[in-house]
Structure 1
Amino acid sequence: MIDVILGLQWGDEGKGKIVDFFAKDYDVVARFQGGPNAGHTLYRNGEKLVLRQIPSGIFNEGKINLIGNGVVLDPISLEKECEQLTKFEGDLKKNLYVAERTNLIIPTHRALDKASELAKGHSKIGSTLKGISPAYMDKTGRNALRVGDILNPDFKNMYEALKEKHYVMLKSYGFDEDISQDEEDFFRAIEFLKTLNIVNGEYFINKLLKEGKKVLAEGAQGSMLDVDFGTFPFVTSSNTISAGVCSGLGVAPQHIKEVIGITKAYCTRVGSGPFPSELDNEDGQRLRDIGKEYGAVTGRPRRCGWIDLVALDFACMINGVTQLVMTKADVLDHFEKLEVCSAYSLEGKEIRQVPLRLDLASYQPVFEAFDGWHTDISRASSYDTLPEKMQHYIRFIDNYLGVPVKYISNGPEREQLIKI
């Protein structure tokens, strides 16, 4: 049986904490897509930790953590991440596994990412410059190097051949930067990667399923960044929705049971792209400051706005969401008045569907107003102890989406999660 946890907005919904919380009930936590552009934040005794590629179940003793074939893996970033975590977890090698079909990010992927983004000028999409898009392009172009290839005695020649293809592309951009230090770091990290548990991922996870093990599939980014269904072209390069679990781990769809969708109590977005409910005003800045809305990986300030129920309803539909987790609800404690986007308006006509291209027309948000609860909920331990005005806000979202909010996060720590 597989349950899925994924973000329903533009990423940064707080997936790391939620996966960490739920992981105790599972035998396996598996990342099924994305790369080091993900930043899943967890807190240990008040100390902030950011997981980029390692599954968020790594702190749960005895749990298997699998990096699936749908991920694009940066060995340099992985080695640094492991070094950061050893002081908390000790020997990561005993419960961290990497699928051999996982595609590698090599130094020229990052160079291509940077060159491509610079060439776009004002049309840039806000890439994290981690090499994600070029790595996925090599995957679909059948040029990629994969984790299993590092065990091939001819790996260095395979690497050089791919690098030369990239250099031709870099020259067309007029891009010429020295990557020798990155290459040195890369091959050192490859030696580290060889010491981890490299497995045939699809046989590995299907064997565990046959044994009756419970798997939690962890997504990265958010549903509105999905390459097919997100706000194209301002999207990531992978399928971030629940359908990506099957191709990203090598499992059949009948194994999937619960789809747990995570949404903030408001909305954020990093980088370029349409954002109908964005607040470019004092309320937007207050959301940013109170919610500490700055990228876990990039440090970039996030754009902030009221919750967008049109986009959220769309994300619930395409994912088959069965239950919702609302994070950062405590950030709204500080507001006298709240709003939710319940429709889009274009030339006087209201719609409640996400259009093909949100960026090509001036869709305006239609807001509904709510009284804020203006009460500190960080110490609340049950739904009944939450303010009535907050319960009204949640009931409205439940009714609009037709999917129940089952958990409310009222603070950053693992224990600050209220079950409804």
Structure 2
Amino acid sequence: MPLDIITGLQRGDEGKGAIVDRMLATGVYSWNVRFQGGANAGHTVTVGDQKLILHLIPSGVMHKKVELGLGQGMIIDPFGLREEVEQLVKLGIDVINRLYVSSGAKLVMPWDKMLDWAIDRVRAKAVGKKVEEGGGVATTQRGIGPAYANAISRDGITVAQLIRPKVLEKRLEVVVPVINCTIRGLQQELGLSNDELPEISIAEAFEQLKPIGEWLTPMACQLHNLLRESLMSVSDKWVLAEGGQGRFLSVDALCSYPSCTSSITTSNAVFAGLGLEMKKEWIGKIIGVVKAYQTAVGNHPMPTYIGNEYQAQIQEVGGEFGATTGRKRDCCWLNALELREAARFCDVIYVTKLDVLTNIPLIPIATALVLNDDPFTELPETWDEYMQCHPLYGINMPGWTGDISGIRKTEDLPRQARIYLAKIARITGKRIIGVGVGPEREQYCT
């Protein structure tokens, strides 16, 4: 049966988890799977009066009849995964018996986080700044970049290798000397001692990793075979694939590189990230999620930054603080150039957090950018050029007032809110299938 896909069309934090939750509540899905990224994404799960922030386990964890999968395109921190599982088990949520981890997934090793920290400081040093001043990429420090880099350079470790002690020991004998060469170079460049940035001991690494491999063994599997079985069946149970981050954090987004994540975040990555062959009949809906405004954390080109009193208002009302980093998100008006580009990767649109813009008197949308006094309507090809751009607001529309959180039909929204949605649909060329008007599962319009 079909594989439906949910991806973000901005820079992450679009509210994809809430959409996944609503879709799984329909009861038509048997699987909720992730296909890329790692613990650099985050979503909040509410259990009674407690809130958990999960970074690896898919958003459907609260749906007890849904199987959960972590695909081979992911970079998985096994220690972080164990921590998430243990938190859920303490709250009485059965996850161990329905969590399936691809044996082909690469792993974030303890040294990857250390490398992440050090490498960003080398970048900052090269431009004469501190990381905190925007000198580096401002990564989440969760080891994602080094882990992906090691995977591509064939110096990574897979789930399959981790859960086999003899294989793991031999693998460490090859990998650790390579990592230590990098560490010694970083020590020299940053003037750090071995105590501050220690080299890796093969024996100590094995003793640290062997127990986590034993813990992970019951969940490790050839996930792609299980998914193929579901997709090829005649049952009415579907697969829902959930992307992390968003289009403009994708490593293949020209205008964002290198201020991006280390994986391809769009629907293009789904089949490879799940280890599946691409079959047209398996593709269901590709749903792109767009927040009614834009946000970003870190050193990103955001020409539509809201530089007035509404910045703090949107941050507060929208709860714009990173689930992974805790940092305040920069809030920006919509950028039509980005919307058009991102919409190429989806069939339909879901707009979230429309309610956050309530009571803002004038809402602009950038329809062009200006670089060196020249206006243009295509995104720049480099991050450097994009950082120098200024917006041209071709759309400036009056806002709306009143509480819209109780509205369930799009046609019942205030007229100006409907006009705003119509402009998003016209810019993207995609049909809007849902509109979020509040944080709760039932607070959305169709």
**Other structure's SS at 1:139 match:** helix
Cα distance, 1:344–1:83 mapped onto 2, change above 3 Å: same
The residue type paired with residue 112 of structure 1 is: L
Shift of 1:270: 0.9
Which residue is 2:265 aligned to? Answer: 240
Partner Cα separation in structure 2 for residue 151 and residue 76 of structure 1: 14
How far apart, in 2, do the equivalents of 1:126 and 1:29 lie?
30
CA distance in 2, matches of 1:238, 1:313: 21
Whole-angstrom distance in 2 between the partners of 1:48 and 1:346? 44
CA distance in 2, matches of 1:259, 1:347: 37
In 2: Cα distance, 1:220 partner to 1:369 partner: 31
**Structure 2 residue aligned with 1:221:** 245
Counterpart contact for 1:32–1:69, Cα < 8 Å: yes
Structure 1 residues 185, 335: CA separation in 2 closer, same or farther (over 3 Å shift)? farther
> Which residue of structure 2 aligns with residue 350 of structure 1?
375
Classify the secondary structure of the residue corresponding to 1:281.
coil
Q: Which moved more, 1:157-166 or 1:230-239?
A: 157-166
1:243 partner SS: helix
CA–CA distance in structure 2, aligned partners of residues 281 and 117 of structure 1:
31
Q: CA RMSD in A?
A: 2.0
Residues 357-378 of structure 1: CA distance to partner in whole angstroms, max 9, x if unpaired? 1432521111121111122111
2:398 aligns with: 371
Q: Does 1:273 align with 2:295?
A: no
TM-score (norm 2): 0.88
| 8 Å contact from structure 1 (residues 76, 186) kept in 2 | no
Q: Structure 2 CA distance, aligned partners of 1:309 and 1:192? A: 47
Which is higher, the Rg of structure 1 or of structure 2?
Answer: 2
Query: 1:46 deviation in Å?
Result: 5.7
With over 3 angstroms needed to count, the CA separation of the structure-2 counterparts of 1:62 and 1:166, relative to structure 1, is same
**How far is the alpha carbon of 1:185 from its aligned partner?**
6.4
Alignment: residue pair count = 416
Q: Deviations over 1:176-223 (max 9, x none)?
A: 33589998765543332123x211122221122111441111100111
| In structure 2, C-alpha distance between the alignment counterparts of 1:182 and 1:43, rounded to whole Å | 35
CA gap 1:188/1:309 in 2 versus in 1, 3 angstroms: farther
Whether contact under 8 Å (1:273, 1:359) holds in the other structure is no
Q: 1:200-248, CA deviations, whole angstroms, 9 ceiling, x for partnerless residues?
A: 1222211221114411111001111111125111111101011100110
Consecutive unaligned residues of structure 2, counting only runs of 5 or more, are 130-134
Match of 1:164 among 171, 177, 185: 177
> Could you report, residue by residue, the CA deviation over 1:358-409 in whole angstroms, capped at 9, with x for unpaired residues?
4325211111211111221112122232111101111111112111111111
Give the aligned residue type for 2:431: P
Alignment of 1:12-411 (within 5 A): 12-23=13-24, 24-45=27-48, 47-88=50-91, 90-121=93-124, 122=129, 123-154=135-166, 155-174=168-187, 175=192, 176-177=196-197, 187-195=210-218, 197-212=219-234, 213-229=237-253, 231-253=256-278, 254=280, 255-317=282-344, 319=345, 321-360=346-385, 362-367=388-393, 368-411=395-438
Q: Percent identity?
A: 33
- Structure 1: runs of 5+ lacking an equivalent: none
1:14–1:41 CA contact under 8 A, matched in 2: no
Judged with a 3 Å threshold, the aligned counterparts in structure 2 of structure 1 residues 311 and 126 are, in CA distance, closer, same or farther, namely: same
Residue number in structure 1 paired with 2:132: none
Answer whether contact 1:5 1:259 (CA < 8 A) is retained: yes
Q: Relative to structure 1, is the Cα distance of residues 48 and 371 closer, same or farther in structure 2, using a 3 angstrom cutoff?
A: farther
CA displacement 1:259-284 (0-9 Å, x = unmatched): 10001100001111211211233222
What's the offset of the Cα at 1:288? 1.4
**Alignment-mate amino acid for residue 126 of structure 1:** A
With the length of structure 1 as denominator, give the TM-score of the two structures.
0.94
